[in-house]
Amino acid sequence: MKYVDEYRDPQIAAAIAERVARKVTRPWVLMEVCGGQTHTLMRYGIDELLPKQIELVHGPGCPVCVTPLELVDRAIRIASLDGVIFTSYGDMLRVPGSQADLFEAKAQGADVRIVYSPLDAVKIARQNPDRRVVFFAVGFETTAPANAMAVWQVKREGLTNFSMIVAHVLVPPAMRLILESPQNRVQGFIGPGHVCTVMGFEEYEVLAKEFHVPIVVGGFEPLDLLEAIGMLVAQLEEGRAEVENQYSRSVSYQGNVPAQQVMREVFEVSDRKWRGIGSIEASGFRLREEYAAFDAELVFGLEDLHAEEPKECISALVLQGLKKPMDCPAFGVRCTPTMPLGAPMVSTEGACAAYYQYRRHA
C-alpha cells in the first residue's frame, strides 16, 4: 500500500539502526511525545533494534490518558440525565472515572453512543430535536479544528440541543513542564507529527532554543521513527539543538492555516488540568464566550467534583517519562485492558496498553 509499505521495510530499518549505532558514542534519553508513536515503537520492536545507549521514554501525547478523572465523572453524570444522548469516541467509554466508566453508565440505561466524528453527533442532534445531545471533545490540537467546525456549524444552523464537553489539551506546554522538572531525563524529543500537521512547528523552536533540546517532528511508521531517532542522535552527538522535520510529507512550517483559523474562531487558550499531573498554565482550549451556549459544563451546571486517582496508578510518572509501564506494580496484575486502573491501559494511544498488547510483560 502506497505510503505504508515503503515505510515498513525491515532491511531499510536495519540499515538505519546500524547507522544510529555507528553514530552514537554515549547514552541518550529520547521521548516520543505522541501515544500513536509509542504503539508503533512497541509493535515493531524498534526499542530493541536500537543500540543499547538509546533509551526511549514515553510522553504525554495520549489525550484520553490525560483527561481528568473529575471530567470523566462529570461526563457520566451528564450522560445519566433524562433526555440526554451522550456521544463520544469509543476509547473514552472504557476510561475509568472514580466509580464507573461510560460503558457502565450505558449498561445502567444511559443513552451513550459511539461516534466517529463530531459531525456525527451534530447529525444526531438534528434527528432528535426533543433530546439534548452532548459530545465529549477529547484530543490535542489534531482534533480541535473538526470539533471547532462542529460548534461553528451548530451555531450557524441555530441548533439549540447540542453541546460539547471540551477537554482539549495542547502539546508544547506539556513539553515545557517536562523540561522544567528537576527530575527531567529527556534529552531529545520526537515531535508529534499529527499535531504539527495542523499547527506547524514554529512554536517548538522556542522550546528547542530555551532548553537547548533537539526536537525532530516525526511520523508514525517504523521508518519514520527510526529516521527521526537518527536525526536526534546526530544533533545530540554534534551538540546541536534545532527543530527538524522528518515528517515533511505531511508537516509544513506553518501547518494548516485555515484549520488553525476555525479553531481560534471557536476556542481560546485556557489553563487546564491534566490527569495525575495537575493544572498546566495555558495548556488547553475552552469555548469562547460567543460559543458559551454550547459548553455542556455550563449548560448542565454541574457542581465542581473532586476525585482521587487510584493510589497505585503511576500514570503521571509514565506520561512524563520518569517511569516505564512495567515499573508499575499493578501492571498486568491488577491493571489489564479488561480491568484497567488507569487510562493509559485503556486508550489505543496509552503506553501501558502498548506494553501490554505487545507482550513486553512476558
One-letter identity of residue 339: M
Q: Which is nearer to ligand SF4, 302 or 307 (CB)?
A: 307
Torsion of CA 132, 135, 277, 178, to 10 degrees: -150
441548533: which residue's cell?
A: 159
- In the complex, minimum distance from the CB of residue 312 to ligand SF4, in angstroms, rounded to a whole number: 6
The 10 Å Cβ neighbour count of residue 212 is 12
Distance CA 56, CA 81 (A): 44
Beta bridge partners of 233: none
The secondary structure of residue 303, as a DSSP letter, is: P
- In the complex, minimum distance from the CB of residue 338 to ligand SF4, in angstroms, rounded to a whole number: 12
Q: Which is nearer to ligand SF4, 13 or 328 (CB)?
A: 328
Number of residues that bind ligand SF4 (CB under 6 A): 15
Distance CA 100, CA 83 (A): 21
Check if the beta carbon of residue 138 is closer than 8 Å to that of residue 67.
Answer: yes
One-letter identity of residue 302: L
Answer yes or no whether residue 217 interacts with ligand SF4 by CB under 6 A.
no
The secondary structure of residue 188, as a DSSP letter, is: E
Answer yes or no whether residue 352 interacts with ligand SF4 by CB under 6 A.
yes
Answer yes or no whether residue 42 interacts with ligand SF4 by CB under 6 A.
no
Distance CA 361, CA 326 (A): 7
- In the complex, minimum distance from the CB of residue 184 to ligand SF4, in angstroms, rounded to a whole number: 19
Distance CA 64, CA 12 (A): 33
Q: Which is nearer to ligand SF4, 255 or 332 (CB)?
A: 332
Q: Which is nearer to ligand SF4, 277 or 318 (CB)?
A: 318
Which position among 344, 347, 349, 354 is part of the footprint of ligand SF4 (CB under 6 A)? Answer: 344
For residue 304, give the C-alpha cell: 465542581
Answer yes or no whether residue 71 interacts with ligand SF4 by CB under 6 A.
no
Answer yes or no whether residue 139 interacts with ligand SF4 by CB under 6 A.
no
Q: Which is nearer to ligand SF4, 65 or 196 (CB)?
A: 65
- In the complex, minimum distance from the CB of residue 347 to ligand SF4, in angstroms, rounded to a whole number: 9
In this chain, which residue has its C-beta nearest to ligand SF4?
342
Distance CA 163, CA 115 (A): 15
Q: Which is nearer to ligand SF4, 104 or 309 (CB)?
A: 309
Answer yes or no whether residue 325 interacts with ligand SF4 by CB under 6 A.
yes
Q: Which is nearer to ligand SF4, 202 or 327 (CB)?
A: 327
Answer yes or no whether residue 345 interacts with ligand SF4 by CB under 6 A.
yes
3-state SS assignment for residue 85: strand
Residue 68's nearest CA partner among 271, 269, 339 is 271
- In the complex, minimum distance from the CB of residue 306 to ligand SF4, in angstroms, rounded to a whole number: 20
Question: What is the helix (H) or strand (E) element at residue 134, kind and residue range?
Answer: strand 132-139
Contacting ligand SF4 within 301-320 (CB under 6 A): 312-315, 318
Measured in degrees and rounded to the nearest 5, phi and psi for residue 109 equal: 115, -10
Which position among 166, 175, 225, 335 is part of the footprint of ligand SF4 (CB under 6 A)? Answer: 335
Q: Which is nearer to ligand SF4, 110 or 316 (CB)?
A: 316
Q: Are strands 111-114 and 188-192 parallel, antiparallel or unpaired?
A: unpaired
- In the complex, minimum distance from the CB of residue 313 to ligand SF4, in angstroms, rounded to a whole number: 3
For residue 336, give the C-alpha cell: 489489564
Contacting ligand SF4 within 186-205 (CB under 6 A): none
Considering only the stretches 81-89, 147-155, 287-295, 337-345, report the one whose residues sit in contact with ligand SF4 under the rule CB under 6 A.
337-345
Binding site for ligand SF4 (CB under 6 A): 312-315, 318, 325, 328, 330-331, 335, 341-342, 344-345, 352
